[in-house]
Amino acid sequence: MPAPLISPSERDYITKSVQANLRADGRTRLDYRQIVLETGLISQTSGSARCRLGEGTDVLVGVKVEIGQVDIDSAGNRGKVVCNVECSPSASQQFEGRGADELNNELTQALERVLNGAQGGLNLEKLCIIQGQQCWVVYIDAIILDSAGNLLDAIFIATRAALFNTRVPKTIVQDLGDGQFEFELLDDVESAERIEGWDHVPIGITLNKIGSRYIIDATPLEELCTEAKLVVAVNRKGHLCGLQKSADGGIEPSLLTEMVQTAKSLGQSLIKQLDDQLEREEIDFNARRARGEHVEKLGFFAA
Amino acid sequence: MDRKRIAGPELSVPPLFDKPQIVPQELAGEGRPDGRSPEDVRPIFLKTGLINQANGSAYIELGNTKLACAVYVLFFPTHCSSAFPRLITPPPRCSYGPRQNKKQTFSNMGLLNCEFKFASFSCSKRRGNQRDSQEKEYSQILSEALAPAVRLELFPKAMIDVFVTVLENDGTASCLAGAITAASVAIADAGLEMIDQVAAVSAVERSHHLVFPQRTQSFAKDQILMDATSAEEKLETGTLVVSYMPSANEVTHVLQTGETEGPVTVQAIEQCIDACSKIYTVMSAALVESLKEGERPRV
């Protein structure tokens, strides 16, 4: 299956509409499509979330925490984050067979680079159970169910929400003397805790440069017209946590600086909105459960 | 039984201490171990024509970072032959003749196929023979950084192969930067039409309050170190690689990791752009040099 092509007239139409700040679907350059976000859909995971952008892009992220060995290279007191992104062949014919390998690797590396390390926000030292021996490994697996542009932003939004939803079982470490330790897992669901620092997890904003201007949340047609892409990872404090250019085009230095600034303010306000919404929903959920009501998930057919 | 000896326990484990982060003496000071100032890059050695079999090649050294790059042009540009005097008559013993794009799909632009590989002995830890995910990613970055400079629209259905082998890694970010610089020179050496040369440079951002918590007072300012060695990279809080076309005034790639405040990164990008302009003169000199030797037989 060859990569999709775009006709010169379509390209011209999109480039001019970006210049005029009115896109084909009525958005301005810096508007997101409607974001649908739901957490806790998958019971087998420690935390999960699904993010849908408009009528298209659909990403499901499952977080699983498992006990693993501490890396010997590091100080021996850190947990690990392992990311994986997979494009489901059902999303596009292009992803069939080995077609998605390159994209999978690109998205996985982009996610891993931002989340693995100090800039990822998660307090990895708290994930260590016994120093030098065992720790929690946070596996973040994203599946692209439907692809209609701007995959990476959707992955980041869903990952952040899934980490909000993640609960890690409590452990009690016993000192057996002689420098030997043993730990016990508490299976009490209520005592399981969030991973410390989830709120410092950054999100990524992808800016697509079309003509001399740039847009966010591009549709597939707009992505085909994109000369250069800039992914900017921003956390709640407005700090930059990663910056990467992709696609086959260049950016002038002055525009680059402007794009970074725009992404920073956009990212910060988006994080705030998402956090408010997630927290409001959780309070609502807990209140309804306390009243003994059955809370139904919207599931996969949510708008 | 020897009663004089104190019998230890049968099983013992080394004690665990709260290890303070050990900063090697030479890295703890204000200066850099090799006496460079923070904005200095390491001396660069750049020469074309290392690999005879290739249509174009370049070898670059950035201090101890050493890498080789070869470009194979798998097409025969009849329609724009005047621009490619070298390619009209392919070298007689050239192992690569004109070839079609290996992928079966049609592309109305030429494809830039980059392969970035760390030699298995190049890093402190041995690398496998198979390309790992980091190498695959670097390959992709390399092609994205070079694509804006090469006039790919001139060769539909064709493929340009760029192979980079890192021989010695003294700073992973500098390997990527060196690869972009060398590949750009190698493509020019192969005689392909380009808009401009792409120069690349790496930098690390070091927030001293993170590395030396006890010395916040004297190291309040974040430092940007250009072209860091691997010893300096270990202490970084963020790395940055910028590739830039000086004449066209376009940034072709940016890759930043680590958490920084916005202004620091913006300043670092500006510093990198300045350094790229300096590297550009080295690249031009290397290409002029290769033309002077010009009449040397290729292959």
Domain at A287, CATH number:
3.30.230.70
In a domain, A11, yes or no: no
State the best of B113, B144, B176, B245 to mutate against chain A, taking most chain A CBs within 10 Å: B144
Pick from A3-7, A33-37, B30-34: least confident: B30-34
Mean pLDDT of B186-197: 92
- Give yes or no for residue B99 having a pLDDT over 80: no
- Give yes or no for residue B133 having a pLDDT over 80: yes
Q: pLDDT tens, B135-158?
A: 999 999 999 999 999 998 887 778
Q: How far apart are CA B31 and CA B34, in angstroms?
A: 8
Contacts of B8 in chain A (CB under 8 A): none
Give, as one character, the DSSP assignment of residue B84: -
| Host H or E run for residue A91 | none
> CA angle, A150 as apex, A148 and A155 as ends, to 5°?
105
CB A147 within 8 A of CB A92: yes
Q: Which of A244, A253, A260 sits opposite B255 (nearest CB)?
A: A244
What is the pLDDT, as a whole number, of residue B238?
Answer: 85
Q: How far apart are CA B132 and CA A92, in angstroms?
A: 26
> CA angle, B126 as apex, B120 and B131 as ends, to 5°?
50
Tokens matching residue B50: 């290392």
Instruction: Burial-class residue A47 by CB neighbours within 10 Å (0-12, 13-18, 19+).
Output: buried
Mean pLDDT of B146-175: 90
- Determine, for residues A102 and B237 on separate chains, whether the beta-carbon distance falls below 8 Å: no
Among candidate residues A270, A259, A253, A161, the one with its CA nearest the CA of residue A206? A259
Measure in Å the smallest separation between the Cα of B299 and chain A Cα atoms.
Answer: 32
| Host H or E run for residue A160 | helix A151-165
Tokens matching residue A19: 């210049």
In a domain, A32, yes or no: yes
What phi, psi does B61 have (nearest 5°)?
-125, 125
CB A86 within 8 A of CB A189: no
Q: pLDDT tens, A129-188?
A: 888 888 999 999 999 999 888 999 999 999 999 999 999 998 888 888 777 888 888 887
Task: Identify the CATH number of the domain in which residue B155 sits.
Answer: 3.30.230.70
Structural domain of B127: 35-78+105-290
Tokens matching residue B274: 């300045």
Measure in Å the smallest separation between the Cα of A5 and chain B Cα atoms.
Answer: 9
Give the Å distances, CA to CA, from A302 to A38, A54, A61, A166, A283. 9, 11, 16, 21, 20
In a domain, A281, yes or no: yes
Sign of CA dihedral A175, A179, A180, A184: positive
Q: What is the mean pLDDT of chain B?
A: 80
What is the pLDDT, as a whole number, of residue B84?
Answer: 47
Strand bridging mode A134-146 / A80-87: parallel
Q: How far apart are CA B235 and CA A197, in angstroms?
A: 23
Tokens matching residue B27: 């890295």
In a domain, A6, yes or no: no
- Four-point Cα dihedral B283, B285, B291, B294, nearest 10: -100
- Determine, for residues A106 and B140 on separate chains, whether the beta-carbon distance falls below 8 Å: yes
- Bigger pLDDT: B118 or B97? B118
Give the Å distances, CA to CA, from B6 to A178, B2, B9, B15. 17, 9, 10, 19
Sign of CA dihedral A207, A209, A214, A220: negative
**Angle between the N-to-C axes of helices B133-146 and A101-115, in degrees from 0 to 180, rounded to the nearest 10:** 100
Q: Mapping DSSP to helix (H, G, I), strand (E, B) and coil, where does residue B260 land?
A: strand
CB A35 within 8 A of CB A271: no
Report the Cα–Cα distance between both ends of chain B, in Å, rounded. 78
Q: pLDDT tens, B246-264?
A: 999 999 999 998 888 878 8
B218-224 long-range contacts, CB within 8 A, separation 24+: B222/B260, B222/B264, B223/B38, B224/B38, B224/B39, B224/B264, B224/B267, B224/B268, B224/B271
In a domain, A209, yes or no: yes
Among candidate residues B177, B155, B151, B183, the one with its CA nearest the CA of residue B240? B177
Residue of A nearest to B111 (CA): A248
- Give yes or no for residue B197 having a pLDDT over 60: yes
In a domain, A36, yes or no: yes
Structural domain of A24: 17-302
Instruction: Please name the residues in contact with B35: beta carbons below 8 A apart, sequence gap of 6 or more.
Output: none
- DSSP structure string for B245-292: ETTTTEEEEEEEEEEE-HHHHHHHHHHHHHHHHHHHHHHHHHHHHHHH
Task: Tell me the β-bridge partners of B204.
Answer: B225, B239
Among candidate residues A260, A204, A111, the one with its CA nearest the CA of residue B264? A260
What is the pLDDT, as a whole number, of residue B91?
Answer: 42
**Angle between the N-to-C axes of helices B172-189 and B262-292, in degrees from 0 to 180, rounded to the nearest 10:** 40
- Determine, for residues A131 and B16 on separate chains, whether the beta-carbon distance falls below 8 Å: yes
pTM over 0.90: no
Tokens matching residue B209: 């309050």
Q: pLDDT tens, A216-263?
A: 999 999 999 999 999 999 999 888 999 999 888 899 999 999 999 999
Give residue ranges of A with CB < 8 Å to any B CB. 2-3, 75, 102, 105-106, 108-109, 113-114, 117-119, 131-132, 178-180, 228, 230, 235, 238-253, 256-257, 260-261, 264
Instruction: Please name the residues in contact with A217: beta carbons below 8 A apart, sequence gap of 6 or more.
Output: A27, A31, A32, A33, A53, A149, A150, A153, A206
Q: How far apart are CA A253 and CA B252, in angstroms?
A: 10
State the best of A207, A234, A243 to mutate against chain B, taking most chain B CBs within 10 Å: A243
Report the Cα–Cα distance between both ends of chain A, in Å, rounded. 30
Q: How far apart are CA A110 and CA A204, in angstroms?
A: 9
What is the pLDDT, as a whole number, of residue B185?
Answer: 95
What is the pLDDT, as a whole number, of residue B207?
Answer: 64
Domain count, chain B: 1
- Determine, for residues B105 and A2 on separate chains, whether the beta-carbon distance falls below 8 Å: yes
Q: Mapping DSSP to helix (H, G, I), strand (E, B) and coil, where does residue B44 land?
A: strand
Q: Which of B13, B143, B259 sits opposite A118 (nearest CB)?
A: B259
* Interface predicted TM-score (ipTM) of this complex, two decimals: 0.80
CB B46 within 8 A of CB B185: yes
Q: How far apart are CA A43 and CA A259, in angstroms?
A: 39
CB A39 within 8 A of CB A165: yes
In a domain, B11, yes or no: no
Instruction: Please name the residues in contact with B154: beta carbons below 8 A apart, sequence gap of 6 or more.
Output: B77, B80, B83, B110, B193
Contacts of A113 in chain B (CB under 8 A): 257
Domain count, chain A: 1
